[in-house]
Amino acid sequence: MTEKPNEAAKTPVSQADFEQVTALVTAEFQVEESLIEHDVPTYYLRQPQETKRAFVRLLDNLQKTSLTATLRKQDGRIVLKIIPKPPIKPSNVLINWVLFLATIGTVFMTGYMLSQGTFDPLVTGATFTVAIMAVLGGHEMSHKIAASRSKVESSPPYFIPGPPPIGGVGGIGTFGAVILQKSLPRNRDALFDMGMSGPLIGFFICVAVTVVGLAISTASYQLPEGPFMPVPILFQLIATSLGQLGIYGPGNIILIHPVAIAAIIGIIVNMIQLLPAGQLDGGHVARSVLGDKARLILSALSVGFLAFNGYYPMAFLVLFLSMFKHPGPLDDVSPLSKTRKLLIVGLVVIFVLSGLTVSEPAHRLTVDSTVPATPFRIYYANSEYYTNSTPWERELAEGVYIISIEQNFTVDGMTYTFLQWQDGNASLTRTVVLTQDVSVAANYTVG
């Protein structure tokens, strides 16, 4: 969030003050016209001339005064205005600490509940908390560091506690974290750095958490029952790579550790922050690159992307944030540096890896018989996974399944003998290649 300086502040300017300010301005810029407009020292600059470094030097010279400056382009002319610095309210660090400790508590409860009897709940709660706080804290601290390097006043991170998933209702124990930006960045480079820093550092932290989370996950032989949660491409690539390295034990199903779940959450949050809308990190980047002209189009595309992917609460939040005009930097004239323009390619790659998801396809397999309660066994990956009786149906991952039934079985003193499957196949063992919904039925007669 930003507090926009009041460019229209009316503070009477004496002739002596105006001359002192003019001396500072003319020491850095070639001035075409200087005047006082609505009690604001205003300077129209000659074109062309270098403005980025000159404006930074001017701000440094104004640092010890109660004044700051803005640089805008109006009607084809470059306009420099000297305005009063907006008041900056100091942060109450006690609030930050209270919210931080409260968030640790709610996130720990979430990790405890996610253990589901598979992992030690206390260890799971602690590791999940460390993972989530590392992702959120690293993201926000990178913003804080970028703000400090760019001489932008900002608050410490505010961690926001949220409800754990109690009774299937709730969230992940937190609504994220924010820092409050109390002054505007000096130029487009500084605005870009502040927007880029969080997603970039957050991406590398998410990669590290994903590797750790998957490495401590375990494998098991289980029937792969769906539906399956879609995961970001980044997560799937790391999981596949670790599998090829033999990180997991024997089995066909990875029992995802809650730390890996924290990684998925972090990847999604990082992706949402990269959207070029409002006060999101991607909104800062887009504003520094494209100015304010493409704001409405990019915001609409961002809202549509979130709604299409089912992130409805975030779609409404981004829509709300998009209603407010981005204040931009103090120097909104000087262009973005070429090096930063090249970094945009990297941010796009991060967005694609984090935003596009893959999901294991699943189809329905139905096993039935002319005799109710016919026993059968189902095999997958050379192991017996399920023994049950007809009628039976499950949604399973694509793959090869082997269904085995008895030649003869007795129910309530009546013996039944297998004749053939409904399609004429007479083998007791039936192989099903599940690439679509499949239904098989066995015919029995009284033996």
Cβ partners under 8 Å of residue 240, min gap 6: none
SS3 146: helix
360 pLDDT band, cuts 50/70/90, is confident
**Distance, CA of 82 to chain centre:** 39
What gap in Å lies between CA 383 and CA 379, rounded to an integer?
A: 5
Q: Which helix (H) or strand (E) holds 418?
A: strand 414-421
Domain identity same for 125 and 215: yes
164 pLDDT band, cuts 50/70/90, is confident
Mean of the pLDDT values across residues 73-96? 90
Query: Residues 298, 178, 102, CA angle at the centre, nearest 5°?
Result: 140
Q: Which of 84, 109, 143 is the last residue of a domain?
A: 84
Residue 170 has what pLDDT?
62
What gap in Å lies between CA 124 and CA 258, rounded to an integer?
A: 7
Residue 329 has what pLDDT?
92
Is the pLDDT at 279 greater than 90, yes or no?
no
Indicate the range of 247-256, 370-379, 402-411 predicted with least confidence.
247-256
Residue 10 lies in a domain: no
* DSSP alpha helix (H) spans, 245-280: 258-273
Domain identity same for 197 and 316: yes
Residue 295 has what pLDDT?
78
Residue 135 has what pLDDT?
93
Q: Return the bridge partners of 225, or none.
A: 396
Domain identity same for 198 and 260: yes
SS3 227: coil
Domain identity same for 161 and 287: yes
Is the pLDDT at 445 greater than 60, yes or no?
yes
Tally Cβ neighbours within 10 Å of residue 117.
6
Residue 2 has what pLDDT?
37
Domain count, the chain: 3
List pLDDT tens digits, range 201-232: 999 999 999 999 999 888 888 888 888 888 89
Q: Which of 32, 55, 84 is the last residue of a domain?
A: 84
Q: Which helix (H) or strand (E) holds 80?
A: strand 77-84
Is the pLDDT at 310 greater than 90, yes or no?
no
Supply the mean pLDDT for the chain: 87
The two tokens of residue 140 are: 């926000």
Q: Which of 280, 118, 253, 116 is nearest to 198 (CA)?
A: 280
- Is residue 429 classed exposed, middle or buried when 0-12, 13-18 and 19+ CB atoms within 10 A define those classes? exposed
Residue 8 has what pLDDT?
43
List pLDDT tens digits, range 219-267: 888 888 888 888 899 999 999 898 888 887 777 788 888 899 999 999 9
Residue 167 has what pLDDT?
66
Q: Which of 90, 209, 101 is nearest to 156 (CA)?
A: 90
Q: Which helix (H) or strand (E) holds 177?
A: strand 174-178
The two tokens of residue 232 are: 């970001």
* DSSP alpha helix (H) spans, 291-396: 295-308, 312-321, 338-355
SS3 179: coil
The two tokens of residue 406 are: 């008895």
Q: Are strands 362-369 and 438-446 parallel, antiparallel or unpaired?
A: parallel
Q: Exposure string (b/e) for 356-394, b if CB count within 10 Å is 16 or more?
A: ebeebebbebebbbebeebebebbbbeeebbeeebebeb
Domain identity same for 381 and 401: yes
Residue 256 has what pLDDT?
85
Domain identity same for 63 and 178: no
Is the pLDDT at 58 greater than 90, yes or no?
yes
CATH code where residue 65 lies = 3.90.1070.10
Cα–Cα distances (Å) from 249 to 213, 215, 216, 337, in that order, read 15, 10, 11, 49
Indicate the range of 104-113, 136-145, 158-167 predicted with least confidence.
158-167
Residue with tokens 């999101």: 280
Domain identity same for 332 and 422: no
Indicate the range of 138-147, 327-336, 380-389 predicted with least confidence.
380-389
Residue 188 has what pLDDT?
93
Cβ partners under 8 Å of residue 32, min gap 6: 44, 45, 46
What gap in Å lies between CA 158 and CA 140, rounded to an integer?
A: 9
Domain identity same for 111 and 44: no
List pLDDT tens digits, range 412-432: 888 999 999 998 889 999 999
Residue 372 has what pLDDT?
86
DSSP 297: H
Residue 5 has what pLDDT?
43
Domain identity same for 248 and 389: no
What range defines the domain where residue 34 resides? 15-84
Share of the chain above pLDDT 70, in %: 95
Residue 45 has what pLDDT?
93
Domain identity same for 374 and 354: no
CATH code where residue 435 lies = 2.60.40.10
Is the pLDDT at 6 greater than 70, yes or no?
no
What gap in Å lies between CA 187 and CA 56, rounded to an integer?
A: 8
Domain identity same for 343 and 395: no
DSSP 222: -
Q: Which of 260, 257, 262, 139 is nearest to 203 (CA)?
A: 139
Read off the amino acid at residue 255: L
Residue 376 has what pLDDT?
92
Domain identity same for 242 and 326: yes
9 pLDDT band, cuts 50/70/90, is very low
191 pLDDT band, cuts 50/70/90, is very high
Region of residue 110 (phi > 0: left; psi between -120 and 50: alpha; otherwise: beta) = alpha
List pLDDT tens digits, range 88-129: 888 899 999 999 999 999 999 998 888 776 778 898 889 999
Q: Which helix (H) or strand (E) holds 97?
A: helix 93-114
Q: Which of 358, 393, 419 is the last residue of a domain?
A: 358
What gap in Å lies between CA 110 and CA 172, rounded to an integer?
A: 6
